[in-house]
A and B are shown apart, each in its own frame.
Chain A
Amino acid sequence: MTEHLPALQVVIALTAAPLVMLLNRLPRLAWGVTLAACWATLAIALLLLLQVSDGGEIRYEMGGWAPPWGIEYRVDGANAWVLLIIGLVSAVVMPFARRSVEQEIPADRLGLFYSAFLLANAGLLGIAITNDAFNIFVFFEISALASYALIAMGRDRRAVLSSYQYLIMGTIGTTFLLIGIGFLYIMTGTLNLSDLATRLEGVTDTRTIRAAFGFIAVGISLKLALFPLHLWLPNAYSYAPSMVTVFLSATATKVAIYVLLRFVYTVFGFEFSFVELSMAWVLMPLALLGIVIPSLVAVFQDDVKRLLAYSSVAQVGYMILGISLASALGLMASTVHLFNHAITKAALFMAVGCLVYRLGGVSLSRVAGAAERMPWTMAAFVVAGLSLIGVPLTAGFVTKWHLLQAALMDGFWPVAALLLATSLIAAIYIWKVVEAAYFRAPPDDAREVREAPLSLLVPTWTLTAMTIIFGVWAQLPISAARNAAEALLGAPQPW
């Protein structure tokens, strides 16, 4: 049984999806099955992470076909970490989903909704676990198509348009990825990532491979919302149903970043990407611009969901910045931020989901005065907000600390200064929300609201508590992130 864990990681969600669709008439049961699938996924992700925590890797041949002919799943420190993030977020968001989704989605589509959610989930898991380039593309499309459907189900009519926007951009992205993979296949005759890595060595000095690198890098950058290719993200996150925003913000961009890392480090190799093609000199300016500009834009947003969406673009900038430093420490800062940002942003979007549940919307004028009626929700927002800013003893600080160290290590003093300055900008936009909720009087036509129900609050606080727990006892995520970085670099590091 345990040897089939890698397959089960994807298959459970994948097979549950059609089952849940059949249960469309019984929404509670559909929800229950989805919940069970997500929890099983988390359990498997945990088991896999434990198995590779000593630096080993697990190989699994799909259907017994040996690679490079068959599809191979391969789990190492890097993707086990990403699998855990996906598993964790989906497992926590499902209890939250029941009431939130019932309110936002028409009752006759609940089964379809959960089915799409499971497909998106399975797609992301598949991207992370597979060791096959074409398979990555396929799973990208599975998760993307399901996500388009999920976003389009938002209550606001603009949801459809933003979903369409995402569809266009996403399709361009995956098409670029496919073209790049095609070039690689032409030159090497293989699709297995490890096999590609060895066979590329002889042919890297060709225009085809360089073009392949370009296509793949740009394609994935679209998917991970690297500035200035992020334009689909704010709309998609703003208009999607609350639960979808929580899930996508915490997982979708992270998985894309993982794929970028996988191609850059495992397939093309550090030498080719960073030395020969000077990738860092492209990534770093984009990362810095991507941190500063969206942060500033976030300050001027009136809708809290949109504000947090722009903040997500900025946070992607932090992760890319870590990669662009081209050092083990920078890479580790990025991988630890995958997790820290996932729990932080998911907690924030959940708190926003609670607000939406009671207030109907989250423009600043509607949030005004909410703290008195919904103290627990707003307290969660404040704590998770502190983590987003990067205050000591929160998860965000752990990231910022390592990122700063990595920047200083290479003598990038101005970058370090900029990092601190942008956390002040984060403080400003979080403060805007806090001020509205705590210090402004509620609007005159405000509804009588109560605190959000427990089924929303408990998941919100679960993640909020994690931002503190993993800020204080940071050893766990740090060692996992180090493992991930070592797996990508292919060698143990002297931390």
Chain B
Amino acid sequence: MVSDATLVYLALAVPLAGMFALIAASRWPALRDSLVVVTAVAMFGVVVQLLPRVLRGERPSASLIELFPGLEIAFLVEPLGMMFALLASGLWIITALYAIGYMRGARELHHTRFHVFFCIALFSATGIAFSSNMFSLFVFYEALTLSTYPLVAHKGNEAAKKGARTYLGLLLGTSVGLLLPAVIATWWLAGTLEFTPGGIMAGNVNPAIGGLLLVLFMYGIGKAALMPFHRWLPSAMVAPTPVSALLHAVAVVKAGVFTVLKVSVYLFGLDYLRELATTDIILYVAVFTLIAASLIAMQQDNLKARLAYSTVSQLSYIVTAAMLVSEFAALGGGMHIVMHAFGKITLFFCAGAIYVATKKTEISDMHGLGRRMPVTFAAFFIGALCVIGVPPTGGVWSKWHLFMGAYDSGHQLVVLALIVSTLLNIAYLLPPVVNAFLLPPKEGDQGGGIREAPLLCVVPLSLTALGCIALFVLAGPLAGLLRPYLAVSGGW
């Protein structure tokens, strides 16, 4: 029996070890690429080992270093973090396969550097998932920003540099300018930064200051992309598609909303959040973001840009979930992390596959492509359904909980907004598929010789599409894993 601490350290060490192995093997592309997959599989294998322990109610923990008394880099695996780590490491395996196919198919350069920073990003995401206190989380949060920066700037042309600069500027700016002060103030007022069920604020921080802190936290967590600090996400779309898929649909953005949930549930505590004057303000900012981003998404002709704005909108679902301060909604928010991850990564995989096969990036150029690339567009359809929240995909369950939560807490306006936004989702996600299958190709676009993308692209996107469907059935166990994070005693 491996000890808890060893497993936690292993989960963090594997991607780093993989990184060094990659560097050593950089001269032999075949070996290097297979090492990427081996690293991803090994990491998932380690993370999975933790799952039964967490399900048994254990909380594997490890304390790495103590900077000074009370301020330490330490880990504790609780259900929400377990879920996030499983999600990131599991999807990494598929993305690794996809990335190999994509990077070769799209003739991108600097493969080793690309995979190396991918490893660091996954290491940082795992650190975020397992952090037992806000200080550790902050450190890994910044590491994730820094390690994904070279990935966004990967192409090295002017557009990539410009996008990357916005990316870094907004994420670092919000985190250092808003999040760090919030963390320090919390430490000062509450005397601890430990994630504690029920929160640490109640009784320590008066609600007026708590309200201010909430605003600092929610805007400081720039990765959750609340408007007006969402610009970094569309900017990040200059990155190669595997980066957009795993990092800007899963690891980075989900790290943001994951932090939002952690902060809401474990630092503020739902009961305390109810007392704050600003909770509703953030709630409506999130609702505004989810509608506004959907509207912007509708106007984007570039497929990846549309998906990016869709992500901005979907992230706000989760922030909304946290700010509704209902157990139902918070559970829905946790589930939505997974559901949206599967749906959106499928959509990005498809966008990448279309690019590799046809070099097309604009939706209006994709008319009629469905007949040439049936698998890709079928997967796109399933992914879209999952994001919209239609059976038989997993997306339906998280939305269900969200609706229930909004209804429960008496926010009728939010219920209405969720309905409108769902309609908008349909309006911007389904047309690309419909057009691709039903419309004839544009005149002059013979589409001669267009076939499905390489197998290494098509298989991963089929897998994640199947995952969307599987989650329809697996939502029960997922909710079972998550329930203890709300510290709700039985009953439901």
Residues of B contacting A420 with CB < 8 Å? 176-177, 180-181
Report yes or no: A474 in contact with B67, Cβ–Cβ below 8 A. Answer: yes
Report yes or no: A424 in contact with B176, Cβ–Cβ below 8 A. Answer: yes
Q: How far is the CA of A373 from the CA of B173 in the complex (A)?
A: 29
Report yes or no: A398 in contact with B139, Cβ–Cβ below 8 A. Answer: no
Q: Indicate whether B488 reaches chain A with its CB closer than 8 angstroms.
A: no
Q: Of all chain A residues, which has the CB nearest B143?
A: A393
Q: Indicate whether B317 reaches chain A with its CB closer than 8 angstroms.
A: no
Residues of A contacting B188 with CB < 8 Å? 404-405, 408
Within 8 A of A (CB), among B85-127: none
Q: Indicate whether A391 reaches chain B with its CB closer than 8 angstroms.
A: yes
Q: How far is the CA of A391 from the CA of B138 in the complex (A)?
A: 11
Within 8 A of A (CB), among B324-383: none
Give the distance to chain B from A405, nearest Cβ to Cβ, in Å: 7
Q: Of all chain A residues, which has the CB nearest B188?
A: A408
Asked whether A404 and B184 contact (CB < 8 A) given A391-B142, A420-B177, A423-B176, the answer is yes
Q: Indicate whether A412 reaches chain B with its CB closer than 8 angstroms.
A: no
Asked whether A472 and B67 contact (CB < 8 A) given A392-B142, A424-B173, the answer is yes
Residues of A contacting B139 with CB < 8 Å? 392-393
Residues of B contacting A421 with CB < 8 Å? 177
Q: How far is the CA of A421 from the CA of B173 in the complex (A)?
A: 10
Q: Indicate whether B68 reaches chain A with its CB closer than 8 angstroms.
A: yes
Residues of A contacting B142 with CB < 8 Å? 391-392
Q: How far is the CA of A273 from the CA of B185 in the complex (A)?
A: 31
Q: Mark B217-260, 1 if CB is under 8 A from A, else 0.
A: 00000000000000000000000000000000000000000000
Q: How far is the CA of A471 from the CA of B177 in the complex (A)?
A: 21
Asked whether A427 and B172 contact (CB < 8 A) given A393-B139, A417-B181, the answer is yes
Q: How far is the CA of A408 from the CA of B191 in the complex (A)?
A: 13
Residues of A contacting B71 with CB < 8 Å? 401
Residues of B contacting A416 with CB < 8 Å? 181, 184
Report yes or no: A474 in contact with B184, Cβ–Cβ below 8 A. Answer: no
Q: Indicate whether B135 reaches chain A with its CB closer than 8 angstroms.
A: yes
Q: Indicate whether A473 reaches chain B with its CB closer than 8 angstroms.
A: yes
Within 8 A of B (CB), among A470-495: 471-475, 478
Q: Indicate whether B65 reaches chain A with its CB closer than 8 angstroms.
A: yes
Q: How far is the CA of A10 from the CA of B177 in the complex (A)?
A: 45
Residues of B contacting A408 with CB < 8 Å? 184-185, 188
Q: Of all chain A residues, which has the CB nearest B71?
A: A401
Report yes or no: A392 in contact with B181, Cβ–Cβ below 8 A. Answer: no
Max chain A CB contacts within 10 Å: which of B65, B139, B173, B180? B180
Q: Indicate whether B161 reaches chain A with its CB closer than 8 angstroms.
A: yes
Q: For the complex, would chain B's binding face be called helix, strand, loop or mixed by DSSP majority?
A: helix
Q: Mark A445-476, 1 if CB is under 8 A from B, else 0.
A: 00000000000000000000000000111110
Q: How far is the CA of A82 from the CA of B177 in the complex (A)?
A: 33
Number of A-B residue pairs, CB cutoff 8 Å, is: 42
- Per a CB cutoff under 8 Å, which of A393, A427, A439 touches B161? A439
Asked whether A424 and B67 contact (CB < 8 A) given A392-B135, A393-B139, A405-B188, the answer is no
Give the distance to chain B from A264, nearest Cβ to Cβ, in Å: 26
Q: How far is the CA of A442 from the CA of B177 in the complex (A)?
A: 32
Q: How far is the CA of A6 from the CA of B147 in the complex (A)?
A: 49
Give the distance to chain B from A339, nearest Cβ to Cβ, in Å: 15
Report yes or no: B184 in contact with A401, Cβ–Cβ below 8 A. Answer: yes
Give the distance to chain A from B135, nearest Cβ to Cβ, in Å: 7
Q: How far is the CA of A472 from the CA of B185 in the complex (A)?
A: 21
Max chain B CB contacts within 10 Å: which of A392, A420, A471? A392
Q: How far is the CA of A479 from the CA of B172 in the complex (A)?
A: 31
Q: How far is the CA of A300 from the CA of B65 in the complex (A)?
A: 39
Q: Of all chain B residues, which has the CB nearest A417?
A: B181
Q: How far is the CA of A35 from the CA of B209 in the complex (A)?
A: 56
Report yes or no: A475 in contact with B68, Cβ–Cβ below 8 A. Answer: yes
Within 8 A of A (CB), among B257-311: none
Residues of A contacting B173 with CB < 8 Å? 424
Give the distance to chain A from B422, nearest Cβ to Cβ, in Å: 39
- Per a CB cutoff under 8 Å, which of B65, B138, B172, B181 touches A473? B65
Within 8 A of B (CB), among A374-428: 391-393, 398, 401, 404-405, 408, 416-417, 420-421, 423-424, 427
Q: How far is the CA of A472 from the CA of B184 in the complex (A)?
A: 18
Residues of A contacting B172 with CB < 8 Å? 427
Q: Of all chain A residues, which has the CB nearest B178?
A: A420
Q: Of all chain B residues, which has the CB nearest A478?
A: B68
Residues of B contacting A424 with CB < 8 Å? 173, 176-177
Give the distance to chain B from A324, nearest Cβ to Cβ, in Å: 20
Residues of B contacting A401 with CB < 8 Å? 68, 71, 184
Q: Mark B162-196, 1 if CB is under 8 A from A, else 0.
A: 00000000001100110011001100100000000
Q: How far is the CA of A474 from the CA of B73 in the complex (A)?
A: 13
Q: How far is the CA of A128 from the CA of B95 in the complex (A)?
A: 60
Residues of A contacting B177 with CB < 8 Å? 420-421, 424
Give the distance to chain A from B189, nearest Cβ to Cβ, in Å: 9
Residues of A contacting B67 with CB < 8 Å? 393, 398, 471-474
Residues of B contacting A398 with CB < 8 Å? 67-68
Report yes or no: B180 in contact with A472, Cβ–Cβ below 8 A. Answer: no
Residues of A contacting B138 with CB < 8 Å? 392
Asked whether A474 and B68 contact (CB < 8 A) given A423-B176, A427-B172, A439-B161, the answer is yes
Q: How far is the CA of A475 from the CA of B70 in the complex (A)?
A: 12
Give the distance to chain B from A398, nearest Cβ to Cβ, in Å: 7
Residues of B contacting A472 with CB < 8 Å? 65, 67
Q: Of all chain A residues, which has the CB nearest B176?
A: A424
Q: How far is the CA of A472 from the CA of B71 in the complex (A)?
A: 11
Residues of A contacting B65 with CB < 8 Å? 472-473
Give the distance to chain A from B194, nearest Cβ to Cβ, in Å: 17
Give the distance to chain B from A481, nearest Cβ to Cβ, in Å: 11
Q: How far is the CA of A472 from the CA of B67 in the complex (A)?
A: 6
Q: Of all chain A residues, which has the CB nearest B173?
A: A424
Q: Mark A421-440, 1 if CB is under 8 A from B, else 0.
A: 10110010000000000010
Give the distance to chain A from B276, nearest Cβ to Cβ, in Å: 19
Q: How far is the CA of A358 from the CA of B107 in the complex (A)?
A: 36
Q: How far is the CA of A439 from the CA of B68 in the complex (A)?
A: 37
Max chain A CB contacts within 10 Å: which of B67, B138, B181? B67
Give the distance to chain A from B238, nearest Cβ to Cβ, in Å: 14
Give the distance to chain B from A109, nearest Cβ to Cβ, in Å: 45
Within 8 A of A (CB), among B121-168: 135, 138-139, 142, 161
Report yes or no: B176 in contact with A427, Cβ–Cβ below 8 A. Answer: yes
Give the distance to chain B from A86, nearest Cβ to Cβ, in Å: 25
Q: How far is the CA of A471 from the CA of B65 in the complex (A)?
A: 11
Max chain A CB contacts within 10 Å: which of B68, B139, B142, B177? B68
Q: Mark A338-364, 1 if CB is under 8 A from B, else 0.
A: 000000000000000000000000000
Give the distance to chain B from A134, nearest Cβ to Cβ, in Å: 40
Give the distance to chain A from B153, nearest Cβ to Cβ, in Å: 8
Q: Of all chain A residues, which has the CB nearest B135?
A: A392
Q: How far is the CA of A82 from the CA of B135 in the complex (A)?
A: 31
Q: Which 8 pairs, one residue from A and one from B, show the smallest C-beta to C-beta distance?
A: A408-B188, A392-B139, A474-B67, A420-B181, A474-B68, A404-B184, A478-B68, A472-B65
CB<8 Å pairs between A and B, sample of 7: A392-B135, A392-B142, A393-B67, A393-B139, A420-B181, A423-B176, A473-B67
Residues in B lying within 8 Å of A, measured CB to CB: 65, 67-68, 71, 135, 138-139, 142, 161, 172-173, 176-177, 180-181, 184-185, 188
Other than A401-B71, A427-B172, give 18 A-B pairs with Cβ distance below 8 A: A391-B142, A392-B135, A392-B142, A393-B67, A398-B68, A401-B68, A404-B188, A408-B185, A416-B181, A416-B184, A417-B181, A420-B177, A420-B180, A421-B177, A424-B176, A472-B67, A473-B65, A473-B67
